[in-house]
């Protein structure tokens, strides 16, 4: 799993008028090609009366799946520019559709490339590009006498935490970045003089800064 990656936070859309043609950029976070295809088909159904619904998507840790469609526009003037925007922004697990309602003025190949590029950029703005960070669940079980000291250290180090369970002992859920788990375990062990019981849980992605 990647230590971090860029994607979009949520579905979104924005539009722009270019020489009387209406371009609407739509974006959707996706985890599979099936999701991407379904999203594209949904947009085509919603905008069935559009002149074109051009699309592209990038999926996978190493961008293994990359597809683009010109949907009737001249070859290379629509799907490829959309795909290039996704790639140039380092975004993955996202699908974009740029819908065009023709306004009566031909844009030419260069104009189409610029228009579909702008539509894709607007789509990413609407969906909000974010960084997802890989974290590790680490459960720390300790005596109540250690709680204040440990909580102060966690705050001081800026370690993300989850729920705290209180029973005969305290059980803290800590969520350090995956690459920091070894360092976390070491200083937690030192801080509690080896008395804390530390166990690892799942690896999970969280939005950066949240």
Residue 147 CA to residue 170 CA, distance in Å, equals: 7
Which domains occur in the chain, in start order? 4-127 (3.30.230.30), 134-207 (3.30.70.240)
Q: Can you tell me the mean pLDDT for 149-169?
A: 96
List the one residue out of 105, 110, 112 whose CA is nearest residue 71.
112
Q: Can you tell me the mean pLDDT for 44-53?
A: 98
> What's the mean per-residue pLDDT of the chain?
97
* Displacement of CA 50 from its chain's centroid (Å): 28
Q: What is the pLDDT of residue 50?
A: 98
pLDDT at 209 over 90: no
Q: Can you tell me the mean pLDDT for 160-172?
A: 96
Give the H or E element holding residue 62: none
The pLDDT tens digits of the residues spanning 99-144 come to 999 999 999 999 999 999 999 999 999 999 999 999 999 999 999 9
| pLDDT bracket for residue 75 (50, 70, 90) | very high
Q: Which residues pair with 24 in a beta bridge?
A: 15, 99
What three-state secondary structure class fits 37? helix
73 Cβ contact list (under 8 Å, min separation 6): 52, 54, 79, 100, 112, 116
Q: Can you tell me the mean pLDDT for 22-28?
A: 99
Q: Can you tell me the mean pLDDT for 37-46?
A: 98
Q: What is the pLDDT of residue 210?
A: 79
Question: In the chain, what percentage of residues exceed pLDDT 90?
Answer: 99
Are 153 and 192 contacting, i.e. CB atoms less than 8 angstroms apart? Answer: no
pLDDT at 160 over 90: yes
Alpha helices in 58-174 (DSSP H): 79-88, 108-127, 147-157
- Per DSSP, 102 falls in state -
- Tell me the DSSP string of 176-190: -BGGGHHHHHHHHHH
The pLDDT tens digits of the residues spanning 54-74 come to 999 999 999 999 999 999 999
Q: What is the pLDDT of residue 162?
A: 95
Backbone angles phi, psi at 64, to 5 degrees: -60, -35
């Amino acid at each position: 799993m990647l230590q971090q990656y860029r994607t979009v936070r949520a579905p979104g859309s924005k539009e722009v008028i270019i020489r009387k043609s209406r371009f609407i950029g739509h974006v959707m976070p996706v985890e599979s090609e099936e999701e991407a295809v379904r999203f594209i088909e949904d947009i085509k159904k919603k905008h069935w009366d559009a002149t074109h619904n051009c699309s592209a998507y990038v999926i996978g840790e190493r961008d293994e799946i990359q597809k683009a469609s010109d949907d009737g526009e001249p070859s290379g003037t629509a799907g490829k520019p959309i795909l290039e925007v996704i790639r140039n922004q380092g975004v993955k697990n996202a699908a974009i559709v740029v819908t065009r309602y023709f306004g009566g003025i031909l844009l030419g190949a260069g104009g189409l490339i610029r228009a579909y590029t702008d539509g894709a950029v607007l789509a990413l703005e609407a969906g909000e590009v974010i960084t997802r960070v890989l974290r590790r669940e680490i459960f720390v079980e300790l005596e109540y006498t250690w709680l204040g000291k440990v909580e102060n250290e966690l705050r001081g180090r800026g370690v993300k935490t989850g729920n705290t369970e209180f029973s005969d002992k305290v059980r803290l859920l800590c969520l350090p970045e995956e690459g920091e788990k070894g360092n976390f375990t070491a200083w937690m062990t030192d801080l509690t003089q080896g008395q804390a019981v530390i166990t690892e849980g799942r690896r999970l992605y969280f939005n950066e800064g949240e």
